[in-house]
Chain A
Amino acid sequence: MPLLQVPIKSKARIKEIAIDGPIRRRLLDLGLIEDTIIEVLQKSPFGDPIAYGIRGAVIALRSEITSNILIEKV
């Protein structure tokens, strides 16, 4: 299931980042690796991007990214 579909306030476990190139490396640098628990915090006023809690930091990601991050429900 893609991260994009996870409802607000729930948590998910990262399974795969199906993105290549610099953005993948940026995500890894932010600590988004396999088995990382991520929390969906809040949508922006227009619904996209969405803010996520990742390892103590709050990071906003656009839907193109989150539709390509595969997760497992926690």
Chain B
Amino acid sequence: MFNGKKNKCPDNIKIEKKTQNDIVIALAGNPNVGKSTVFNELTGLNQHTGNWPGKTVTIAEGNYIYENKNYILVDLPGTYSLMANSVEEEVARDFICFGNPDLTIVVVDATCLERNLNLVLQTIEITSNVIVCVNLMDEAKRKKIEVDLDKLSSELGVPVVGTSANTGKGLDELKKIIDTNISNINNKVININYDDQITEEIIKVENELKKDNKDLINTKWLSLKLIDGDEYLLNSIKKYINLDFFENDKLTNAVQKSKDNLANIGLDKNKLRDKIVSTIVKQAESINQKVVTTNPKEYNSRDRKIDKVLTSKLFGIPIMIALLGLIFYITISGANIPSAIIADFLFWIEERLMDFFLWLGTPAWVHGVLVLGIYKTIAWVVSVMLPPMAIFFPLFTLLEDLGYLPRIAFNLDKLFKSANACGKQALTMCMGFGCNAVGVIGCRIIDSPRERLIAIITNNFVPCNGRFPTLIAVITMFFTGIIISPLQPLLSTIILTSVIVFGVMITLFISKLLSKTILKGIPSSFTLELPPYRKPQIGKIIVRSVLDRTLFVLGRAILIAAPAGLVIWLLANINVGSSSVLSQCANFLNPFATFIGLDGYILMAFILGFPANEIVVPIIIMSYMATGSMLELASLNELKTLLVNNGWTWLTAVCAMLFSLMHWPCGTTCLTIKKETQSKKWTLISILIPTITGIIICFIVTNVARLFGLV
């Protein structure tokens, strides 16, 4: 179903079963309850993701085999409710209602059961084929919270399983319970106890509904929703099961009559909805009191103590910057040595390759294309990118797993509010450190369309991993010296962190500017959950961040670097008239580039680097080498000599860094923006805004420096 390639009917949300015996299971749950961990542990690597038809909501689907049966698991978006207050909730509710899952598992957090029970009760109201998976049992035990699972099961009338998905505990039992409950008809399921008047009206409408004899959805729940006047649901019903209630006059009349009756006793549309929600919340509260012995109402004193420091007025922001700096410090100092070793090795191979081609006696252009073009570019990308990525990603994932990222949003929210934007933008910016395309997709967490666009347009001001190795290299060469000493990485870190902080300031400034001009509006309200701090699974973090992220990003970079290396070598070596195509382009760009502190080759490199930012530096090297003397670039030292010989000053370095921070997004990001905004206009704006910002800032810096005779 979620497979975009098949291009099926966009409204078909039913899972495609491979055989009739396949069992479809929906996985629902609040955000931050470890639902994805349950999903990952059950399905292993047998999963794929796709978009919900017509919506920008990602759904993961996976499968596992148990007792010779194939179970297809559908990981629904994390939601607090199924009232369709957001697209995610609508998607989750529609799948449970109309996707015909054989069973729905609601994953709940043992340390925060009460709030989670809200979703459980709402799910049970729709379908009785529910299993509740109480996750994070270990965590609850550590916090001395006891959940009586048997009691919970008898209160709810559905099977309950306790798990600690991150250690795999309880998952076998979950599989077993799923297996034994697949075709059971559950009569024991709990009712939601609405007020007498509401119940009375439900029964009236239900009687009318039953005459239609459409045994498709739970009639009691549907009656309530009809009285509630839930338009989204009525649309969904029409869309997915082709049933239009408005055609049934008797039913429409009955519903209207019930609405009137309730309005007469003071339950108009808004009051009724409040009443429905509060009935469920109260029921959750009373169940919670019966099954949870140590009430977590202390809000976990350990977490509160940590928060007192990490989000305090005095230390909140400094600690945040220091943590970012620490990650960069470890990355820079840790990457130096492996980078040098890999570079030495790869360039040793390059020499052997050259010898080999010389021995073969091939024409100069053959080894030019293969070695100086393709190989050298790949070698650069691998040696410069791999070590920092292999260090940065696990560290960042660690911060993510600890639960620190929502605190960043909490700390910075006021700044985003004064820029008329959403505090969750801080989270999407964090994702941008990994990859801007991922950051742009992440903007889905922002509910307001206006604020989402602001976050998308400004995401590129966060340097992604394709850019910060470039930044680190330039910083090392021009500002902190190449000699490896303990102070050098520290100084590099300070400069890099300042560049990032500058990027954040620009983000806020541009967000404000957008809010005052083309994206006028006031900040919308939102709620931000600060989940408990969790003990991270170090081993899994390393595996996941190295396999999923590092190798993936590196693989993609190499895939782009190889053909790009080829094209660039050709551009640099095919002569039209007296000079190469590349030189001619660069010469053409040179006046403008000089104007903003760069030179024609650097600007050309940024333009050719559109497919991926990683290849900007190799292009610069190659262009200079093609026009200058041949050098072996085994170290940054020699690279610096090359750059300086080609007219680089500290100002060129500063402008190159600023322009790297602020220019058009890479090709992948542009495509992602197009996909997410569904608009050419906003894609174009997302390209223009960082580019123009970069040009203006580089221009100012250059001319101020020149004016004061600093260069």
Contact = CB atoms under 8 A, between A and B. Distances in A.
A29 B312 contact: no
Contacts of A44: 311, 316, 410-411, 413-414
Contacts of B273: 25
Contact of A46 (B282, B297, B314, B414): B414
A42 B311 contact: yes
Interface residues of A, number: 37
B202 to A, nearest CB: 20
Interface in A28-62: 28-31, 33-34, 36, 39, 41-49, 51, 53-62
B417 A48 contact: yes
A47 B450 CA distance: 25
Contact of A62 (B115, B296, B526, B529): B526
A36 B525 CA distance: 21
Given A57-B115, A57-B529, A64-B525, A41 B414 contact: no
Contacts of A29: 80-81, 83, 85, 118, 277
A51 B99 CA distance: 37
Most buried by A among B270, B296, B527: B527
Given A53-B297, A58-B530, A25 B281 contact: no
A63 B312 CA distance: 18
B356 interface: no
A33 B530 contact: no
B413 A56 contact: no
Contacts of B411: 44-46
B85 A33 contact: no
Contacts of B417: 48, 62
A70 interface: no
A30 B527 contact: yes
A49 B308 contact: no
Contacts of A65: 525, 527
B447 A22 contact: yes
A28 B274 contact: yes
A43 B312 CA distance: 8
B297 A22 contact: no
Interface in B83-129: 83, 85-86, 111-115, 118
A23 interface: yes
Given A27-B527, A41-B299, A42-B307, A33 B414 contact: no
A29 to B, nearest CB: 4
A66 B586 CA distance: 57
Interface in B22-52: none
Nearest to A44: B410
Nearest to B418: A46
A45 B277 contact: no
A26 B527 contact: yes
A48 to B, nearest CB: 5
Chain B binding surface, main DSSP class: helix
A62 B307 CA distance: 18
B278 A28 contact: yes
A16 B528 CA distance: 21
A25 B447 contact: no
Contacts of A28: 274, 277-278, 281
Contacts of A20: 270
A25 B85 contact: yes
A6 to B, nearest CB: 15
A60 B531 CA distance: 11
Interface string B553-582: 000000000000000000000000000000
B154 to A, nearest CB: 22
A20 B85 CA distance: 13
A62 B525 contact: yes
Interface string B463-503: 00000000000000000000000000000000000000000
A42 B528 contact: no
A72 to B, nearest CB: 17
A55 B282 CA distance: 11
B423 interface: yes
A45 B314 CA distance: 7
B414 A59 contact: no
Interface string B243-287: 000000000000000000000000000100110011001101100
Interface string B408-442: 00110111010000010000000000000000000
Interface string B334-373: 0000000000000000000000000000000000000000
B313 interface: yes
A39 B295 CA distance: 14
Contacts of A23: 524-527
Contacts of A30: 80, 115, 527
A26 B85 contact: yes
Contacts of A39: 297, 299
A51 B273 CA distance: 26
Contacts of A55: 112, 114-115, 285
A29 B527 CA distance: 11
B527 A60 contact: yes
Interface string B518-538: 000001111111111000000
B304 interface: yes
Contact of B278 (A33, A45, A53, A58): A33
Contacts of A26: 80, 85, 527
Given A26-B85, A33-B281, A59-B530, A48 B115 contact: no
Contacts of B282: 33
Contacts of B312: 45
25 contacts: A23-B526, A29-B80, A33-B277, A36-B281, A39-B299, A41-B304, A42-B311, A44-B410, A45-B316, A45-B411, A45-B414, A46-B413, A46-B414, A46-B415, A49-B414, A51-B410, A51-B530, A56-B296, A57-B112, A57-B115, A58-B529, A59-B527, A59-B528, A60-B530, A64-B525
**Which 6 A-B residue pairings sit nearest by Cβ, starting from the closest?**
A46-B414, A45-B316, A29-B81, A33-B278, A53-B299, A60-B528
